[in-house]
Every structure is written in structure tokens, then in C-alpha cells.
Amino acid sequence: MAADIISGKEIGDEIRAEIAQRVSDLKKNHGLVPGLATVLVGEDQASHMYVRMKNKAAGELGLHSQQITLPGDTSEDELLGVVAGLNGNPDIHGILVQSPLPDGIDEAKVLLAIDPAKDIDGFHPLNVGKLNTGSDDVLVPCTPAGIIELLMRSGNDPAGKHAVVVGRSNIVGRPMASLLVRKGPGGNATVTVAHSRTPELGVITRLADILIVAIGRPETITGDMIKPGAVVIDVGSNRVDDPETEKGYRYVGDVVYEEAAEVASAITPVPGGVGPMTITMLLSNTVAAAVALAGIDG
């Protein structure tokens, strides 16, 4: 069996085209330009790269994008003041404070300071609670939301299936399980959550019709741990040494791709699978937040 490839780039491009049309319609019919603000503290190079990518993508789709870059010695109170200003800015509908933050700043405190209606990461406790109680009025964490889109748009509706989520982080694993089990499109699955402390992990993963792996450990799931015909979503992106490559390293997922592709019916590649969906869903959340804040129906 050779698995079908679920391309995050292709599906992400499809969704971005829909977002661009939605933004155009909002401007034309309501005079509304969804606004995204990114706050960057310090000189972490990876963070600078991620923020540039987010702002570039926002601009390409017609969103208003504002970047606030603060020095590494910014105090917690100063950062909280910036967040308060964005909360009160009617032109900003989505706020993202890029992690990691410098020592001395409590990330949890900063997260709590963001208006939940503008929390496009979906990490505020109010949004977490809404998701876990099945509310439709919620901003969903971007990576799990993107995975649901990958499944639905590739013809792999989770409804009635047994989904196994490997990983229990607040960013992917827990919200992923909540999305899969809730009533409505993209949900109605029977869900098992496994993790690094699960004994006989392969026994659990072989039960999955849909296997979502977000354990953060390179190539943990091998081919013999996968049920034949299962759909495999690999969230991992791990840098491993490889002296045979020009750069001396390469990126692999949490799944041994070559083995899994021989067993699964469909699989996401690394790179090019889940990764491209995260920024796409961040932009989708920004538009959704703008519509909700403006009180626009439909």
C-alpha cells in the first residue's frame, strides 16, 4: 500500500484563497479590515522569522498587519501596557505575543491579559474552557484547527472513527482531542489520548483509524505501530543531524515516514504537511475575530 499524501501546502493555499475573498467582501460590504498585531520581545532569531512570515502572509491576504518589536530588557509591566493598548484598539482584532519571552516576564500573566475575543492563538483559559465545553463561539488553537481542515478537505472525516492522539500538550494534544470528540463537522470521533508515559504505546496506536502524532520526539512511531489503512497526521518537526546533507542536518517528523507510508492509507509529509496550516489558521482566526467583534452575521 502506498499512502496518499495530504499536502498542507495545497490545502493551506485553498483556505488562504477563501480568506482573501472573505477579507475583500468584508472591506467592500462592511468597510471592515481585519487587523492582526504581533508583539515581539527580544532578539530570538527564530521568533523574528516566524513573525515576518505571519505578517507577510497577512499582507498578502489583505489584512491590516502591525508589528510591535520591543527590546529584550522590556519589563513585564511595559509589555502588559502594550497588550492593554492593543485590547483597546478598534483596528486590531487579533493579538499574538510571540513566544518565548525573555526571563522575568510571566508568559501566563501576559496570556491572561489578552482580550479573549482577540486571542487568535486560542490559548486564553476562557477559550480553552469554551472549546472543552463544546461551544461554537470559540477561537481554536491554530495547529489543531488546521489538522481538522486537513482531515475534512482530504476526505477523511473523523465522524464515527477511532482517533488516537499521541501527545498531551496544551498547544496540540489536548485541544486536538477536544475538537475530535465534540459534536459537529470535524468531530464525532471516539478519541484516545496517549503520550510518552503510555505503556505499550504501539498497542494503543494500532487501534487508530486516524493517528495524530504530536509527541515531539523524532521518529517515535514506526510502521509496525500503525493499523493498516489508517490516516496518519504527523505534527512533529524535529531537527536531526545528518552529515550527508549540505547543511549537516534535516527535519523529520514524529513518525518514521517511509515505514508509515507503506502501511497508512493517507499521511502528511514533513515538511509540507501540518506546518503550513498553522499560519493559515492564525489568519482565519483573525478574520473570525474581526467578524465577531464587529457583530456581523454570517
**Per-residue pLDDT reduced to its tens digit, 235-271:** 999 888 888 888 888 889 999 999 999 999 999 999 9
- In this model, does residue 281 exceed pLDDT 80? yes
Domains along the chain with CATH numbers: 31-115 (3.40.50.10860), 140-277 (3.40.50.720)
**Catalytic-role residue among 119, 121, 209, 234:** 121
* The pLDDT of residue 120: 97
Q: Which of 45-54, 64-73, 106-115, 153-162 is predicted with the least confidence, judged by mean pLDDT?
A: 45-54
Query: Given this model, what pLDDT does residue 1 score?
Result: 59
Q: Are 9 and 15 in contact (CB under 8 A)?
A: no
- Report which of residues 237 and 156 the model is more confident about: 156
Judge whether 208 and 178 are in contact, CB under 8 Å. Answer: no
Quick one: average pLDDT of 37-63? 91
Q: Is 241 a catalytic residue?
A: no
Per-residue confidence (pLDDT) for residue 136, from 0 to 100: 86
Instruction: Check if 67 is active-site.
Output: no
Active-site residue, 98 included: yes
Give the chain's mean pLDDT: 95
The residue-averaged pLDDT of 4-23 equals 98
